[in-house]
Chains A and B, each alone.
Chain A
Amino acid sequence: MELTPLDAVVRLSWLAAAVAFVIGLSRMNSPATARNGNLVSAGGMVLAIGATAVWLLIKPPTGSFNPIGWAIIVAGVAVGGGYGLYSARTVKMTAMPQLVSLFNAVGGGAAALIAIDEYLRHAGSVPGLQENVATVLDIAIGSVTFTGSLIASGKLMGLKITPAKPVMIPGGRIVTALLALIVVAGSLFLFLGNYNVAVMLAILAAALVFGVTMTLPIGGADMPVVISLLNSFTGTAVAMAGFVLNNPVLIIAGALVGASGAILTKLMADAMNRSILNIMLGGFGSGDAVAGAVAGPGGSVREVSMDDAAIQLAYASSVIVVPGYGLAVAQAQHGVRELAELLESRGVTVSYAIHPVAGRMPGHMNVLLAEANVPYPQLKEMDDINPEFDRCDVALVIGANDVTNPAARRPGSPVSGMPILDVDHAKNIIVMKRSMGRGYAGIDNELYTNPKTGMLFADAKQGLADLISAVKAL
């Protein structure tokens, strides 16, 4: 096997891109270096794509220049890249999860399309077992992630056909199981050395529908897990495309993303104390937890006035804000930052306690607060902030519910075992909430009946504005 200088340069460019991806990801370990890391990663991507383009131009694999092929590439890059640039520039930060989900869908879709195209080209000749396995896996995983991510994206957008609440299709699980069976049986048939386009198309169709039936029954609050899982699937599909095309950079990049998605999936599932299987099967607490032992609302609820809340906050020495997704829904991130700055100007130390699943994708709440100009050193992770609650004068809970429920520490409740923020350890607690409504788990929050807790019934945005003027009036 001889390697021309051009081939060598292309391969080294791919290697350089792989190195850039790893460096880019490792620079994500601190907010100070993350942006630069993303640029390094993007640089590697440009290098890999550029080197590939030059190489395909100088040394076309078919032997001669393919004008239609190149027209397709130019048109595809213009259309896809143009829309990508537009949507990425204009998206609102609250709508970030659905856009990331869309990008994930098309990545998986592209990987599947490549495998389908390669498969059709064999035209009768049976691909070797290795290529066969990679092709089938690429088509199956890529298709599941394509429709699955599109459904997830639609749910996050709140589209009517894909409501955020779990959609239970009658016999849905049986259908899903049947589809999986079709994919497995079809794959085995092809692995045995048969070349059959109809079977390949059946696998494709079953996998596409599987993505839909798998994602539809999953509820909105479980989205961080689902998105992470689908992200991992896309990475795997891209790695499989790398096996199909014998391309190391696709294998490496796909493996990196697959690993990243898998880690996040595990972290998110742990943060909800649910197994991935339980989430994928849909419905909250349908597994281990028994509803029988749930303690009812034992005590009475104490209401606190806006002025009292303002006094507590303004004369505290340290305040911890506990934001939940309700805060983002009410578009009150800027209000909370304003209140925090006001308190800081009075000498109060303010920090934010962020639960891992606050938001609709992993770490979503941090992005929303960063957008509202909250300095990132104030954004504290659960494990770092929990010991701080013992020393904190006032914990201000806005739009968070289940993740603050002390019932999680005892067995017998649907939230049992779920890691929570130790809000009840604070000396005083103020909960800003519109009503006594329940959270996603559908149970009463014992924090609200804690004698230290004052309930401030208000819409987050309006409530914060009132609180700010009340503090200013002091």
Chain B
Amino acid sequence: MNGDPATTSMPIDLAFTIFVLAILCGIAVISKVPATLHTPLMSGANSIHGIVLVGAMIVAVAADNPVSYLLCFLAVAFASLNVVGGYVVTDRMLQMFRRKPTAPKADKAED
């Protein structure tokens, strides 16, 4: 067995440890997000699971039959839609959150 990142088998206990610790990390980080940002949070988290594109690429380069070609194409296309759409739409949402109105109104700014 060589050191290929994709083919080297990770011991299951190690993989499971990573899984559980990442869940705890996620809970710790996300519990602090205010309700105001819950939609961008969900959309941002949504983009993160677009990382599945890495997995789709790994299986696609090993595809060697028509069924596999189809499955891999769909996987790559779905994952790309997830990644690109997710980050762009999250960015669009977040740029709307402003401390002060952008309209040139010289009213007294509160806070």
Chain A: residues with CB nearer than 8 A to chain B?
A: 1-4, 7-8, 10-11, 14, 17-18, 21-22, 24-26, 28-32, 34-35, 37-39, 41-42, 45, 48-49, 52-53, 55-56, 59-62, 66, 68-70, 72-73, 75-77, 79-85, 87-89, 91, 93, 96, 99-100, 102-104, 106-107, 109-111, 113-114, 116-118, 120-121, 130, 227-228, 231, 234-235, 238-239, 241-264, 267, 337, 341, 344-345, 349, 354, 356, 359, 361-364, 366-367, 370-371, 373-377, 379, 381-382
Q: Which residues of B contact A29 (CB under 8 A)?
A: 32-34, 37
Residue of B nearest to A363 (CB): B38
Interface residues of B in 17-59 (CB under 8 A from A): 18-20, 22-27, 29-59
Is B59 a contact partner of A227 (Cβ separation < 8 A)?
A: no
Q: Which residues of A contact B57 (CB under 8 A)?
A: 49, 52-53, 56, 73
A42 and B103 contact, Cβ closer than 8 Å, known pairs A49-B53, A68-B69, A76-B60: no
Is A28 a contact partner of B37 (Cβ separation < 8 A)?
A: yes
Mask, B68-98, CB within 8 Å of A = 1, is 1101111111111111111111111111111
Q: Complex: how many Å from CA A308 to CA B6?
A: 70
Q: Complex: how many Å from CA A61 to CA B64?
A: 12
Is A66 a contact partner of B41 (Cβ separation < 8 A)?
A: no
Q: Which residues of B contact A104 (CB under 8 A)?
A: 46, 82
11 contacts across the A-B interface (CB closer than 8 A): A72-B60, A72-B63, A80-B79, A96-B89, A103-B50, A103-B82, A109-B75, A254-B51, A373-B101, A375-B98, A376-B97
A234 and B49 contact, Cβ closer than 8 Å, known pairs A35-B94, A56-B61: yes
Q: Complex: how many Å from CA A61 to CA B79?
A: 21
Q: What is the predominant secondary structure among interface residues of chain A facing chain B?
A: helix
Is A106 a contact partner of B81 (Cβ separation < 8 A)?
A: yes
Q: Which residues of B contact A377 (CB under 8 A)?
A: 99, 110-111
A4 and B3 contact, Cβ closer than 8 Å, known pairs A96-B93, A363-B37, A367-B39: yes
Residue of B nearest to A32 (CB): B99
Q: Which residues of B contact A261 (CB under 8 A)?
A: 42, 45
Q: Complex: how many Å from CA A366 to CA B83?
A: 24
Is B29 a contact partner of A26 (Cβ separation < 8 A)?
A: yes
Is A34 a contact partner of B49 (Cβ separation < 8 A)?
A: no
A110 and B89 contact, Cβ closer than 8 Å, known pairs A56-B61, A60-B61: no
Q: Which residues of A contact B7 (CB under 8 A)?
A: 61, 246
Contact of B25 (CB < 8 Å), options: A53, A79, A100, A256: A256
A251 and B19 contact, Cβ closer than 8 Å, known pairs A25-B45, A39-B91: yes
Q: Which residues of B contact A2 (CB under 8 A)?
A: 2-3
Q: Which residues of A contact B60 (CB under 8 A)?
A: 69-70, 72-73, 76
A7 and B97 contact, Cβ closer than 8 Å, known pairs A38-B91, A256-B26, A260-B30: no
Contact of B54 (CB < 8 Å), options: A49, A91, A118: A49
| Smallest CB separation, A87 vs chain B (Å) | 6
Residue of B nearest to A97 (CB): B39
Q: Which residues of A contact B43 (CB under 8 A)?
A: 96, 100, 103
